[in-house]
Amino acid sequence: MTSDTESVLLSLHEERASAVLYRTMEEVEQGPRAELFARLRSASERQAGLWEDRLRTAGVAIPVFRPGPRVRLVAWLIRRLGPRHMLPVLAAMKVRGLSVYRSTTDSGVPGEHVDTTPLPPEESWHHANRGGGTLRAAVFGVNDGLVSNASLIVGMSGAGSDPHTVVIAGLSGLLAGSLSMATGEYISVRTQRELLEHQIGLERHELATMPDEEVDELTMIYEAKGLSPEAAHALASHLIADPERGLDTLAREELGLDPHSLVSPLGAALASFASFAAGATIPLIPFLLSTPFSPFVGTIVAMEIGLLIVGGLMSLFTGRGVGWSAMRMALLGSAAAGATFLIGRLLGVAVTG
């Protein structure tokens, strides 16, 4: 079997599976969205027919389609949870039209007030990531490291452990937490990258072999967002005329994916490791330095200062006042540390008793 035949068989299976999911979304949605997915289902079935014609021309038998376990599970979850809660999964299943869940009116239904003009790649990337995504991840990473390691150190102190043991526990918590965060981040970003590469590859193949069908699908999406049929078709045709811009637009509008978000998994892992380790180091410093007061008191002071700073930084993402955010973070972090201290004290008494 040639690579071209394998590609056609894969595309045929993807279109058939998409048609099943479109039918499910058509059943659970209402109004313009239901109409959009009904039209996308018809387009998907039509594309499947074209792939079948190519197989017949090549003398290849048309395989019988039976929805696999993944398709059936996703369809079941769509009925139970609704499409909006399944967007990442639906993108992985090559369901198109997901951008209607991002570009809607206040009522949640696509309408004529929607701005359907695609952002240039560099502007979109700026809004999605440079606008605070990296800083947000760093702040939350520091917060995770600070709260978790401070709670561990306070809990060990409450159990009556000597300073040497507390330092070992704190360093172990720092390394374990940082490695865990880095590993999780690497897997998460690597998985997202593989999804994007796979889906963009499929879109590139369809754009090269069936450009008219891609124009029709993009037209449907823009119509669902409020454009007239003529304007939607003109915009779709203009975008698809440029292969690279067309591919970028198809990934965004059909799959709800950003082809420019292919960040480095290793870079994300290292950043996650560093931010968690930075936060986890703060409550450990008093045990590593010579201070006029006890290391335990120093840890409490360092923890509270760190919580106030991190809480204040979080106000950048919440819109709440700096003071309110700082105090809330300090109270929540202190409650977590207090709980572990009490547990450590109870366990320490129980063991020594």
Question: Pick the residue with more confidence: 106 or 56?
Answer: 56
Q: Which of 18-27, 157-166, 243-252, 257-266 has the lowest mean pLDDT?
A: 257-266
pLDDT of residue 319: 61
Residue of 160, 157, 151 lying closest to 348 (CA atoms): 160
**pLDDT tens-digit readout, 85-110:** 887 778 777 787 777 776 443 333 33
Which pTM was predicted? 0.58
What b/e string do you get for 181-208 counting C-beta neighbours within 10 Å, with b at 16 or more?
bbeebbeebeebbeebeebbebbbebbe
Tell whether the model's pLDDT for residue 48 goes beyond 70: yes
Please list, in sequence order, all residues whose beta carbon lies within 8 angstroms of the beta carbon of residue 340, skipping any fewer than 6 positions away.
151, 152, 154, 155, 158
Mean pLDDT of 312-322: 74
pLDDT of residue 299: 92
Helix axes 163-209, 265-281, angle to 10 degrees: 160
Residue 118's CB is within 10 A of a number of other CB atoms, namely 17
pLDDT-based confidence at residue 305 (cuts at 50, 70, 90): very high
Q: Give dist(CA 286, CA 296) in Å, integer.
A: 8
Domain extents in the chain = 1-95, 133-190+263-352
pLDDT digits (tens, 9 = 90+) for 257-303: 666 666 778 888 898 999 999 999 999 999 988 777 789 999 999 99
